[in-house]
Amino acid sequence: MGDDGTFQLEANAAGAEGTVHGDAAAMVGERVEEKTGGDITIDAYTDNELGGLIESMENVQSGALDIYVNIYALAASFYEEAQIFDAPYMYDPDRPYEHLMEATDPNQSETARDLIEDIADETSLRSLGTFPQGTRRVTVTGDEPVTNPEELSEKLLRAVPVPIFEETVVGLGAQVTDLDWGEVPQALATGQIDGQENPYEIMVGAGIQEHTDYVLETDHMHPALAFWINDDTWSEFTDEQQNAFYEAISEAQAEAIEQLRSNIEENRQVFRDAGAEILTADDIEFEEFASATRSHIRETFPDFIDRIEDIHGGDYQ
């Protein structure tokens, strides 16, 4: 905090500019600055300019960085249950982004509020709300389409190196390997891996379409991008300033959803233009993917299931 009671905060994000992941902090910052009359400003950086994934989480925890926008599961190494919000096939498929934001909003959901307070108490990482990263799909190379978990078992996929993401890919049927995201296009080009999984927006930004024969619209995850802030910094704000953040996030969420949905057909066409075939839910054994993945998550994370079912709104089978 400055001597005049103002705050100049720094925010980092792993996403590129032009994606929700990369733009969320700037979206919020513009609104917070306006709502606080300039008393709080946010300098937003993209592409992990201020540090890598775990480094940024550690820096928010220590207070060396004020804000980081990234998935809840990245906090798993600090507090295991944080990754519950990224569980596969958990959100309402008819309105996944709206459901995600409601279910992870500490002002709307008791489950979210309790979990967010637990994380903050244990780690000094506080989430103020969530942005949708997009719907994750699987891409593979090969001469023949892949339509079910048994066929996917022959493929080696890169998975995000955090437990619930890796186990989701295992649940879908694939073999899994860990690679830094920056290495993935080259690994696909050389045949080191057979595929990966991500939202269209992120895949197009990395050029994955150039190394893809099939896109499987498994729609297995709708990751929750948490707006992480250092809890000590948060406690320095007045009630009015804290409310300004919540209001700004709520307003920016609507913009984020519109951005994701308006770009989806354009991003699909990028894959088609590159020669990839898109297999929709009707072209694959969608329910088999969903049930196999949920079953694997139940077996792997039994202590998570009560909270997953609270968020899901019913039996997680």
What digits encode the pLDDT tens for the residues 5-31? 799 999 999 888 888 999 999 999 999
**Whether 155 contacts 174, CB under 8 Å:** yes
Q: Which amino acid is at 264?
A: I
What digits encode the pLDDT tens for the residues 168-210? 999 999 999 999 888 999 999 999 999 999 999 889 988 999 9
Q: Which amino acid is at 71?
A: I
What confidence tier does 52 reach under pLDDT thresholds 50, 70, 90? confident
pLDDT at 59 over 70: yes
Q: Is 307 left (phi over 0), alpha (psi -120 to 50) or beta?
A: alpha
Q: Which amino acid is at 77?
A: S
% of the chain surpassing 90 pLDDT: 85
For domain 7-133+223-262, the question of CATH label 3.30.460.10 is answered with no
CA distance 98 to 301: 25
pLDDT at 238 over 80: yes
Within 10 angstroms of residue 93's Cβ, the number of other Cβ atoms is 13
Mean pLDDT of 229-257: 96
Spatial strand order in the sheet of 224-230: 40-44, 7-13, 67-71, 224-230, 125-132
Residue 85: predicted pLDDT: 94
CA distance 230 to 126: 6
Q: Which amino acid is at 281?
A: A
Q: Do the domains spanning 7-133+223-262 and 136-221+274-312 agree at the CATH topology level?
A: yes
Q: List 43's β-bridge partners, or say none.
A: 10
Residue 222: predicted pLDDT: 95
Q: What is the pTM of this model?
A: 0.89
173 three-state secondary structure? coil
- According to CATH, the superfamily of the domain at 136-221+274-312 is Bacterial extracellular solute-binding protein, family 7 (3.40.190.170)
* C-alpha pair distances (Å), 65 with each of 13, 49, 50, 62, 149: 11, 12, 8, 8, 41
In the block, tokens 């023949």 appear at: 144
CA angle 152, 287, 271 (to 5 degrees): 55
How high is the mean pLDDT of the chain? 94
pLDDT at 2 over 80: no
CA distance 139 to 65: 34
**Whether 212 contacts 142, CB under 8 Å:** no
User: Based on C-alpha coordinates, what's the Rg of the chain?
Assistant: 19
* C-alpha pair distances (Å), 242 with each of 15, 234, 249: 25, 7, 11
The helix-helix angle for 20-35 and 239-273 (nearest 10°) equals 150
CA distance 158 to 56: 22
Could you state, in order of their start, the residue ranges of all structural domains in the chain? 7-133+223-262, 136-221+274-312
What confidence tier does 3 reach under pLDDT thresholds 50, 70, 90? low
What digits encode the pLDDT tens for the residues 130-174? 999 999 999 999 999 999 999 999 999 999 988 999 999 999 999
- The residues, any chain, with a CB within 8 Å of residue 258's CB and separated by 6 or more, are none
